[in-house]
Amino acid sequence: MGLSIGLVGLPNVGKSTTFNALTKAQNAEAANYPFCTIEPNKAVVPVPDPRLGELAKIVKPERIQYSTLDFVDIAGLVKGASKGEGLGNKFLSNIRETEVILQIVRCFHDDNIVHTEGSIDPLRDVEIIETELILADVEVLQNRADRLRKQAKSDKNAQALMEFADTLAEFLGDGNLARNFDQFDSDMFRELNKDLRLLTSKEIMYGANVDEDGLLEDNEYVIALSNHAKENNCEIIKLCAKVEEELIGLEEDEAAEFLRELGVEESGLAQIIRKGFDKLGLMSYFTAGVKEVRAWTIRKNTTAPKAAAVIHNDFEKGFIRAEVIAYDDYIACGGENKAKEAGKMRLEGKEYIVHDGDIMHFRFNL
């Protein structure tokens, strides 16, 4: 769907290890889910969804197809990136094309892994990255305000946008993120941001990279980062990049047992993928047949015809109705036929808003 999550982070914080785990670069063929690297800095990963496995137990399909999510490994960040230092311009242009930022932050001490800043301080690391994003946004806003200033003499809308851009630039100049601006949800902000795609307007998730001990109990670094995330209404996910690499290639049962031994129910990467999917405003509906059980990715609040178009555009053009069974009803009844017999299948029209997990079959005519 053209939506992606960008991985950012300072050197030696575990970003590359995390991305390698996402791409399943090692032992990929033995992996439980087939990860696919499309280009050196992009990976398409399946979204873990146990509901598909439960559907497959009933339907016994030839294959299972998961929803997928794009991750982009964004490199080149150093202090001064907003001024073009290092690969700063490439870094900033790449991140502007993503919808969600996943910032990997080092939250463990290890004398064998040197930190480029000389010490472990997650809040300082976050500030370095976000300062560069803020500075880049301020420059973009000031350039837009200057152009609007010229138009403002004869255009009242340009005058209002110019004043709004100046106010927002001042807010950012105080070290704030655009997503925390009190008029973030206003029409004026949306109009200004539709082509600027301000870096600090994006959803942010923090990946707190800890050692194995840190998986069981939050250390001081994780606590500090958690407080910062809460203050900025951001998601934080704890992971151990080293453990995530060790999980690569393990069978599903082996991986689950390994995590249980560590006292963990779900891997950090699985949480990142699942929560990232939600942050992008996405959800899945299902089709279930003997050839495949499949999750189809749509935006939340999508109508039935638009959902049908994800399978094929003709399904939307000739849409008649959708046959819908809620996931819980499908499982409780033991399949489509029994759900129909129990009166759990509904016929829905063009105005129906698809629910997450709906099992759907579309009727159409061309």
Per-residue pLDDT of 304-317, as tens digits, reads 999 999 999 999 99
Tell me the two tokens of residue 188: 């004026």
Between 137 and 29, the more confident residue is: 137
pLDDT band at 260 (very low <50, low <70, confident <90, very high): very high
What single-letter amino acid sits at 285?
A: Y
The alpha helices in the chain, defined as continuous H runs, are 15-23, 50-59, 88-96, 122-151, 156-173, 187-196, 212-216, 220-231, 241-247, 252-261, 268-279, 304-311, 313-317, 327-333, 336-341
**What is the structure's pLDDT at 93?**
78
**Cα–Cα distance list, 267 to 26, 63, 190, 217 (Å):** 17, 24, 36, 15
* Most confidently modeled range among 24-28, 183-187, 244-248: 183-187
d(CA 96, CA 84): 15
Handedness of CA 306, 312, 318, 324 (dihedral sign): negative
State the average pLDDT over residues 69-76: 81
- Range of weakest confidence among 48-62, 132-146, 279-293: 132-146
Q: What's the pLDDT tens digit per position in 14-54?
A: 888 888 888 763 333 323 344 454 544 788 888 989 999 99
| Confidence at residue 28, expressed as pLDDT on a 0 to 100 scale | 35
The stretch 204-230 carries a mean pLDDT of 95
The domain made up of 4-279 has a fold known as Rossmann fold (3.40.50)
Q: Which of 234, 9, 226, 227 is nearest to 105 (CA)?
A: 9
CA distance 132 to 103: 13
Every domain of the chain and the residues it spans? 4-279, 301-364
For 301-364, CATH gives 3.10.20.30
Q: Dihedrals φ, ψ of 306, to 5°?
A: -65, -35
Choice between 37 and 150, residue whose per-residue pLDDT is larger: 150
